[in-house]
A and B are shown apart, each in its own frame.
Chain A
Amino acid sequence: MQKMFANLFGSIGRELLSFYRSEKFYFVLGAMAIGAIIPLFVSDYVVGEVLTPMIIFTIYASSWNLLAYSGQGSLGHAAFLGIGGFASALLAIKLGVPPIFCLFLGSLFSAAIGLLIGLACVRLKAWFLAMVTFGFSVIIVTLISQFDTVIGGIMGFPTPLLVERGLAFYYMTFALATTSIFTMYLLMKSKMGLAFRAIHENELEAKMIGINTAKYRLLAFVLSTFFAGLAGGLYAQSIRYIQVSVFDAYYSFLPLMMVVIGGLRTMEGPIIGSVIIISIESYLPRIDPIMQGLMGPLFPSVSNVGPPLRMLSLGLFLVIVVIFFPKGVSSLLHKIHNYFREETKKANNIERK
């Protein structure tokens, strides 16, 4: 039976097979089960404002992560988040494209722009790429503002919904996220993924063994911006509004923080990072009044110390993670997992004796 599977789907089959046999499979299954069940037990508010954003930002963070696999760190990914959002919304509104295709076409559009920007960027060193991508996210605000009569981005506008808000939207997002991440997983296991890793590790050597580094970097760019655009389309639907503030630097730094804290260049990193950061942003504000009472007198120049303290902590968190835990929280979890595995082995050994 297994042999038939493998023969039919060739290398994809092989990949799926090895995955099925691995330990990871159970973790993934467990995570998916939790993700599928939790919404049924929490309030509408939590589903819509906490869980759904977690899933959407997982896609977004993963898209950034995909780019990072190839050694490219974009500081302007918000541009593509926003492009995806505006494109999918406008396609539905102005051109009457059926909702089913809007998200996909919006993502394609984002990828197309990603191709253009990528062409300029792929030969640049890491820091230049970061800067150019950031610059792009600044310019795009001005560009969209110039076409305000057509796009209406300055005031913004409500986005047409594909599915009703609430559980239906959550599950649609969840399905899309699972598909996206799984796709990325397969991509990274393929020859292309190997090329990405090779380029990241040592570009010169990669070139020497004949890898067309520019081509693969461009490919990473296009794929990354495709998924970022998808996340953008979903995000626009989730907050039911799209406006130029989606291009703010905050949205460019979010995926970076999520990925680095969660675990750079791992599949689970973006997921972990998204959960952590969205939780912080959703729940920590509730202790703002307490913080204001405690620390307010220390900082008389501010009327609400909550937000700056929170952002300060995130920044410190990021710096500490990069210096002391370069592989992020994910590496911590692996260590814990290995610890338990060792303990179980020892226990088993003792049992046998």
Chain B
Amino acid sequence: MQKKLIAIVVVAIVAVSAIIAGWQLTQVPSSEAESEARSIKIGLVACYEKAEGQDMDRAAKMAVQEINDAGGVYVAEWDTNVDIELVIVDTEDDSTGKAVSPVTRAVLEDEVDLLIGGYTSSGTLADQVVAIENRVPYIITGASSSLVTRRGPQGNYGGLAEDNQLRIEDEEGMSYMFHYCTTTADYSKTVVNFFAESMKPLLDSTYEFNASRNLRLAILYRDDAFGKGVKDDSKAIIASENLPIDVVAERAYPATATNFQTDLTAIKDAKPDAVYVVDFIAGTSEIIKQGQRDVGLNTVYIAVECCEDPQLYTLLGEYGEGQLLESKFAPYAGPPFYLSAIETYVTDYQEKYATLPGMMGADTYDAFYIAKDAIERAGTVDKAAVRDAIESSAIDQMLIMTETGKVEFSTGVNYHEIAPVTFVEQLVWNEDVGECRSVIVYPDTAPGVGTLKQADFVLPAGYQSGSP
């Protein structure tokens, strides 16, 4: 009996091995030189559980279809036009356990030529490692932490301590990372400067405050890298630029929280003039609603740009009236828009999807065009050449405004960031639509565009300032 068993087991092992070996042999590994033309595979790294991820998906599909319909991408090496094939890399909730695996599959199994996307900072910091090691160009359109491009030698390790494991030594690998997004420092700077330059004078004149009275700011943030990053950066900028702002309250809550009444009540006790809400759409909309409806904290709230999405306006409803949103892409501030490219994009997106686009999708959309331009200039899909081409991008700005009016990845500096222009919008109730729409209130101008401001900032109806 035992002999029979051994025999069966051995045969089984041999059979299984043979099948697997045979199957493996049929998988022809990709050759070094791509002599045959084929479609370009671009992986979209997005978290489909969230509205922002779905927006990125729609924008990506629209970009790919537009490019393919217009003839695709011309690759000189093959002397022909080829299509872009979109590979979906769904990181579910973007926790590190769920983010790394899909990206690994995309890089090793699907063998993508390029990656676009990224959502949270911690998720991206984890999943970009696969791209770095395998030298896959990654245009990161989410993740507000500057570490995604600065964590290597060329970025001076982003100021990380020597024993901090987030440091990466692979200078070559890091050169494949591109950050097409704003960092927490970028937009916090705009926000606090708005408070100092625009809101404080208004408060002083309306309430006859002493000019030496600092604006009372409360920061309510989600307890993760994103929230803390904004809080720390804001405080640092206030200090370094000597702005007349006091942070009278700073409160953190777990990222999964949905009930903010008690935190808001505590903030109410601190009597702030304004509240900086650092969270994604779900949390932000609840905070703004609960603050006004349930707690009676009738102040002005300012949200972060990742909330720039139709869902925010829908969720806020009338509670959005008078509230603020820092942004770099405003599909609701018009028509007429501050940038003609936005008009086209919004119209096309709306026609195709019956909803308005959000900000993360806009970044993503641009990124596909950046990739197309780079591949065409490189003339090949060889990743190193494409990387070089992206680095030397100098196309005109598209949906996202930059300081120079062109898409340039920090020429002269070795880590790849753009210099985006961010602004502050105020939400205004629109009776016809049954929702709020926005107008840009700060700053007055932008380098590539001219006049940016569309209206003056006003205090919301029912606004109560902090204590004198």
Residues of A with Cβ closer than 8 Å to B?
A: 23, 26-27, 29-30, 33-34, 37-38, 41-45, 48-49, 89, 93-94, 145, 148, 152, 154-160, 239-243, 245-246, 248, 251, 285, 288-289, 303-304, 307, 344
Please indicate the chain B residues that have their CB under 8 angstroms from the CB of A48 in the complex: 104, 108
How far apart are the CA atoms of A33 and B15 in the complex, in Å?
13
Contacts known (A26-B2, A45-B104, A49-B101); A157 close to B166, Cβ less than 8 A: yes
Question: Are the CB atoms of A45 and B108 closer together than 8 Å?
Answer: yes
Contact assessment for A160 and B17 in the assembled complex, using a CB-CB cutoff below 8 Å: no
- How far in angstroms is the closest Cβ of chain B from A283? 11
**B76 interfacial contact with A, CB 8 Å:** no
Which one of A27, A34, A145, A303 contacts B54 once the chains associate, using CB atoms below 8 Å? A303
Which of B33-41, B89-97, B433-441 is found at the contact surface with chain A? B89-97
Contact for A155 among B5, B92, B166, CB less than 8 A: B166
Residues of B near any A CB (own CB < 8 A): 1-2, 4-6, 9-10, 12-13, 16-17, 20-21, 24, 27, 48-49, 54, 57, 88, 90, 92, 95-98, 100-101, 104-105, 108-109, 121-122, 125-126, 129, 145, 163-166, 223-225, 228
Chain A's nearest CB lies how many Å from the CB of B268?
25
Known: A303-B48, A304-B90. A152 touches B164 (CB 8 A): yes
Q: What residue in chain A is nearest B168 (Cβ atoms)?
A: A158
Q: Are B97 and A246 in contact (CB under 8 A)?
A: yes
CB distance from A71 to the nearest CB of B (A): 30
How many residue pairs link A and B with beta carbons under 8 A? The number is 114
Can you list 10 A-B contacts (CB < 8 A)? A30-B12, A33-B9, A41-B21, A43-B27, A43-B108, A45-B108, A154-B223, A158-B129, A160-B165, A241-B125
CA distance A38 to B21 in the complex (A): 9
Question: A23, A37, A45: which contacts B109 (Cβ < 8 A)?
Answer: A45
Closest A-B pairs by Cβ, 10 of them: A245-B95, A30-B9, A45-B108, A41-B20, A155-B225, A157-B165, A241-B126, A243-B96, A158-B165, A45-B109
Q: How far is the CA of A344 from the CA of B1 in the complex (A)?
A: 9
A-chain residues with CB within 8 Å of residue B164 when the two chains form the complex:
152, 157
In the complex, which residue of chain A has the Cβ closest to the Cβ of B57?
A303
Residues in B with CB closer than 8 Å to A93 are: 163, 165
In contact, A240 and B129 (Cβ under 8 angstroms): yes
Across the two chains, which residue of chain A brings its CB closest to B167? A158
Give A243 to B96 CA distance when docked, in angstroms. 7
Please give, as numbers and ranges, the residues of chain B lying within 8 Å of A245 by CB-CB distance.
95-98
Q: By the criterion CB–CB under 8 Å, are A26 and B6 in contact?
A: yes
Do A243 and B1 touch (CB < 8 A)? no
Beyond A30-B9, A304-B49, 11 additional contacts (C-beta under 8 Å) are: A30-B10, A41-B17, A41-B21, A43-B27, A45-B108, A93-B165, A94-B163, A155-B122, A155-B225, A157-B165, A242-B96
Least CB distance from B122 to A in Å reads 5
Minimum Cβ distance to chain B for residue A309 (Å): 14
Distance to closest chain B CB from A21 (angstroms) = 9
Residue in A29, A94, A241 whose beta carbon sits within 8 Å of that of B129 in the complex = A241
User: How far does the Cβ of B92 sit from chain A's closest Cβ, in whole Å?
Assistant: 6
Does the CB pair A34–B5 fall under 8 Å?
no
User: Nearest Cβ distance between residue A33 and chain B, in whole angstroms?
Assistant: 5
Chain A residues with CB below 8 A from B4, complex form: 344
CB of A148 to closest CB in B, whole Å: 8
Q: Considering residues A43, A159, A243, which has the most beta carbons from chain B within 10 angstroms of its beta carbon?
A: A243
Q: Determine the residue in chain B with the shortest Cβ distance to A337.
A: B5
Q: Are B125 and A156 in contact (CB under 8 A)?
A: yes
Residue contact A154 to B225, C-beta cutoff 8 Å: yes
State how many angstroms separate the Cβ of B95 from the closest Cβ of chain A: 3
Knowing A152-B164, A155-B225, A157-B165, the reply to whether A239 touches B96 (Cβ < 8 A) is yes
- Residue from A37, A44, A157, A248 whose CB has the most chain B CB atoms within 10 Å: A157
Q: How far apart are B41's CB and chain A's nearest CB, in angstroms? A: 15
Cα–Cα, bound, A49→B108 (Å):
10
Q: How far is the CA of A41 from the CA of B17 in the complex (A)?
A: 7
Known A-B contacts A23-B2, A241-B96, A303-B48; A45 and B105 likewise in contact (beta carbons under 8 Å): yes
Q: A159 touching B125 by the CB < 8 A rule? A: no
Chain A CB within 10 A, most for which of B48, B101, B125, B145: B101
Complex partner residue of B24 from A29, A41, A246, CB under 8 angstroms: A41
Q: Is the CB of A26 within 8 A of B104?
A: no
Q: Is the CB of B20 within 8 A of A243?
A: no
Given A43-B108, A49-B101, answer yes or no on A37-B166 (Cβ-Cβ < 8 Å): no
Chain A residue with the shortest CB-CB distance to B121: A155
* Chain B residues in 8 Å Cβ range of A33: 9, 13
Query: Are A243 and B21 in contact (CB-based, < 8 A)?
Result: no
Q: Kindly provide the distance from the CB of B166 to the nearest chain A CB, expressed in whole angstroms.
A: 5
Known contacts A42-B20, A154-B225; A241/B100 CB under 8 A: yes
B234 nearest CB across to chain A (Å): 18
Q: How far is the CA of A242 from the CA of B95 in the complex (A)?
A: 10
Q: Which residues of B contact A154 (CB under 8 A)?
A: 122, 223-225, 228
Q: Take A37-B17, A155-B122 as given contacts and tell me if A239 and B100 are in contact as well, using a CB distance cutoff of 8 Å.
A: yes
CA distance A308 to B90 in the complex (A): 14
B26 CB to nearest chain A CB (Å):
12
A45-B109, A94-B163 given as contacts; is B100 within 8 A of A37 (CB)?
no
**Nearest residue, chain A, Cβ from B224:** A154
Which A residues are CB-close (under 8 A) to B101?
Answer: 49, 239
Chain B residue contacts of A307, Cβ below 8 A: 49, 92
Closest to B12 in A: A30
Q: Which of the residues A27, A37, A43 comes within 8 Å of B9, measured between beta carbons?
A: A27
A230 → chain B closest CB, angstroms: 18
**In the docked arrangement, what's the CA distance between A29 and B101, Å?**
31
- Known contacts A43-B27, A241-B96, A158 near B166 by CB under 8 Å: yes
CA distance A141 to B27 in the complex (A): 44
Interchain nearest-CB distance for B208 vs A (Å): 43
Q: How far is the CB of B160 from chain A (nearest CB, A)?
A: 10
A24 CB, nearest partner CB in chain B, Å: 10
Are B109 and A145 within 8 A (Cβ)?
Answer: no
Residue numbers in B under 8 Å from A304 (CB-CB)? 48-49, 90
A29 touching B9 in the complex, CB below 8 Å, given contacts A41-B21, A344-B4: yes
Q: Smallest distance from the beta carbon of B303 to chain A beta carbons, Å? A: 22
What CA separation (Å) do A190 and B21 show in the bound complex?
A: 41
A181 to B2, CA, bound (A): 24
**Cα distance, A246 to B126, chains bound together (Å):** 13
Question: Which residues on the A side are within 8 Å of B1 (C-beta)?
Answer: 344
